[in-house]
A and B are shown apart, each in its own frame.
Chain A
Amino acid sequence: MSELTLTVMRLGFLAVLWLFVIVAVQVIRSDLFGTRVTQRGSRRDSGRAQQASRQAAPPQQRQQHGGGGGRQRRGAPTKLVVSEGTLTGTTVALQGQTITLGRAHDSTIVLDDDYASSRHARIYPDRDGQWIVEDLGSTNGTYLDRNRLTTPTPIPLGAPIRIGKTVIELRK
């Protein structure tokens, strides 16, 4: 076998080996999951930041979002806003995912509140895209307007949901 062929194979092999390592690292990069928190400097930046974070989302997530957008009716809420409590001002984009609330660390919104249970309530869309709030057997209850929830209940736009000292509502 000629010297040249062997040299090409030797360097080619090292290149392929490193290509594998680089591809593996790329997979890790696209494999981030958990909770995305976007810090915003001012109101004007918010649109840009949201756009940027949406671009950074993994492709599967984007497809899911696109599909959900197609089904969404007019006037459906697009975000959940915390209007009272220690997390005031926090918003969660509604993209067809279940949102859990409670003191447990793996909740979507972790409530730092003595009156909240560790798994307090969840908010999820039903088949028609209507958002539903359900109390998960909490000690102190979940209130929609003034009424304590006993069954999964559809959430009207802008209606306050109270958990301990925290109040959240759905907005467009």
Chain B
Amino acid sequence: MSSTTNPSTHHTSTIGAIGAPSRRNTELALLVFAVVIPVFAYANVGLALNDQVPPGLLGYGLGLGLLAGVGHLVVRKFAPYADPLLLPLATLLNGLGLVVIWRLDQSERLQVRSTFVEAAPRQLLYSALGVALFVGVLLLLKDHRVLQRYTYISMFAALVLLLLPLVPGLGADVFGAKIWIKIPGLGTIQPGEFAKIVIAVFFAGYLMVKRDALALASRRFMGLYLPRGRDLGPILMVWAMSILILVFETDLGTSLLFFGMFVVMLYVATERTSWIVFGLLMSAAGAVGVASFEPHVQQRVQAWLDPMGEYLKSKQGVVGHSEQSMEALWAFGSGGVLGTGLGQGNSDLIGFAANSDFILATFGEELGLAGVMAILLIYGLIVERGVRTALAARDPFGKLLAVGLSGAFALQVFVVAGGVMNLIPLTGMTLPFVAYGGSSVIANWALIGILIRISDTARRPAPSPAPNPDAEMTQVVRP
């Protein structure tokens, strides 16, 4: 928004202000589109599996439409200048996730498994809770700058949330990772998903205050700005924290997410490339160090380097090996460019976690490369809108918070998609909005709610000039 000109361009520039218009009708049109696509997919799955339009089509369509409609009306009323794309993109991903989870529910191969439960109705309930939290965020959080007051409280809250699964009697060790807590009568929740948002608030508040010290007090060495030793304190602390998560909860994904988010926000706050170099070196050192003694992590690395060997060992009945990585790769391969069509793939052969960690493999098989690219682009668009919001935000706290939240979202998608495609070692994380999992869906709707709140503040036009009552009273009458 600056119009600084240098002497050589005198007499050459014209400045015109373009205000950000309210785009609620665009949002509504896109939302209708975003509801129709999953309904189409649902009918397609039904026709492919049972030769008939599924009986729940109307109810499902109305349910999704109702959620989207409520979200839209609340945004229209309470955040009228918000970004028009965030809500439709999230709705589309949530709807497609529901369809694919329902499609995997219909699989006879999965139904015979002892752990089988009908996941789609629950996921619909979680989505409704998620939209309720989204509405709650928009109603209660009138101005995101309020969060700035809770910088250090957020730090404690995030630490408590992260440590809860380690409390004896409360934590639940599920398949090698201790990231769930059990609440009697309610089921399990994954506090790490919520900690992600809370800790972004802490990082934003902390870096906003400390960024000058971190950016300016540094020595130049070999083209890099080296920070002073005492300024390294916070990054070392966060690093130690994520290593501890890795060791005690054996959760590679969450630890990568937190450390990565901190490095991203540190870079954005200080504009120093050296932080990225440090961050990459430290995370590499940490990961290698932990992998050298933690068997759960070792096994993941082994499956990453040699998925076929893991698959064969698992089929021979050797304990401690997993065949999923190889099966996911086969699923992607048999999908090809255009896919086998919804409901016509065999990705349900990935028995365990087919509808949560490995749900992208089903997309890969049934929608092919074309479909997966579209899905990844939709994630990319959500992240882009988040970063655009950060650029437009007028206050540094809002900028950092928007960058942190969209960075966390991007990292999570990368960690999951990269893991399933065997680009990086697999970690147990959920694909936002798409994968089955209550905590993930609910937390990500809250994340989108905060982004919409920041973008509403950022794009709201400046108030129109009001006549100043003081000026009227103190008029100077000149002779």
Contacts and interface: CB of A to CB of B under 8 A. Distances in A.
Given A18-B370, A20-B37, A32 B18 contact: yes
A54 to B, nearest CB: 9
Interface in B435-479: 459, 462, 464-465, 467-468, 471-472, 474-476
B378 interface: yes
B68 interface: no
B16 A87 contact: no
Interface in B318-368: 338-342, 344, 367-368
B378 A21 contact: yes
Contacts of B381: 21, 24-25, 28
Interface stretch (B26-34, B200-208, B211-219): B26-34
B56 interface: no
Given A14-B371, A106-B1, A150-B475, A40 B12 contact: yes
Contacts of B465: 98, 122, 124, 132, 134, 152
Given A14-B370, A134-B465, A35 B14 contact: no
Contacts of B20: 31, 33
Nearest to A91: B14
B306 to A, nearest CB: 34
Interface string A18-43: 10110111011001111111111100
A109 B4 CA distance: 9
A89 B11 contact: yes
Given A9-B47, A40-B12, A98-B464, A87 B40 contact: no
Nearest to B33: A20
B88 A24 contact: yes
B9 interface: yes
Nearest to A60: B21
B338 A108 contact: no
Interface residues of A, number: 65
Given A31-B84, A92-B15, A23 B371 contact: no
A27 B23 CA distance: 9
B115 interface: no
Contacts of A95: 16
Specify which of A12, A93, A97 lies most central, judged by the most chain B CB atoms within 10 Å of its CB.
A97
A38 B459 CA distance: 22
B385 to A, nearest CB: 8
A139 interface: no
A10 B37 contact: no
Given A16-B37, A109-B15, A152 B471 contact: yes
B19 interface: yes
Contacts, number: 189
A40 B394 CA distance: 29
B3 A110 contact: yes
Given A16-B37, A20-B33, A100-B462, A10 B4 contact: no
B471 A58 contact: no
Contact of A9 (B89, B341, B370): B341
Interface in B367-391: 367-368, 370-371, 374, 377-378, 381, 384-385
B85 A10 contact: no
B17 A90 contact: no
A150 B459 CA distance: 31
Given A24-B85, A92-B14, A58 B37 contact: no
Nearest to A107: B1
Given A6-B341, A13-B41, A100-B462, A23 B5 contact: no
A141 B33 CA distance: 54
Given A13-B40, A90-B3, A134-B468, 18 more contacts: A10-B339, A10-B341, A13-B37, A13-B41, A14-B338, A14-B368, A24-B89, A33-B20, A35-B3, A39-B12, A40-B13, A53-B16, A88-B11, A92-B17, A93-B14, A97-B17, A152-B465, A152-B471
24 contacts: A1-B48, A6-B47, A6-B341, A10-B342, A10-B344, A13-B342, A18-B370, A20-B30, A20-B37, A20-B374, A23-B30, A24-B89, A24-B381, A27-B84, A35-B2, A35-B3, A57-B18, A86-B5, A87-B5, A88-B10, A90-B14, A95-B16, A97-B19, A109-B3
Interface of B: 1-5, 9-21, 23, 26, 30, 33-34, 37, 40-41, 44, 47-48, 51, 84-85, 88-89, 92, 338-342, 344, 367-368, 370-371, 374, 377-378, 381, 384-385, 392, 394, 459, 462, 464-465, 467-468, 471-472, 474-476
Chain A to chain B: the 8 pairs with minimum beta-carbon distance, closest first = A89-B11, A10-B341, A33-B20, A60-B21, A110-B2, A17-B374, A38-B14, A36-B16
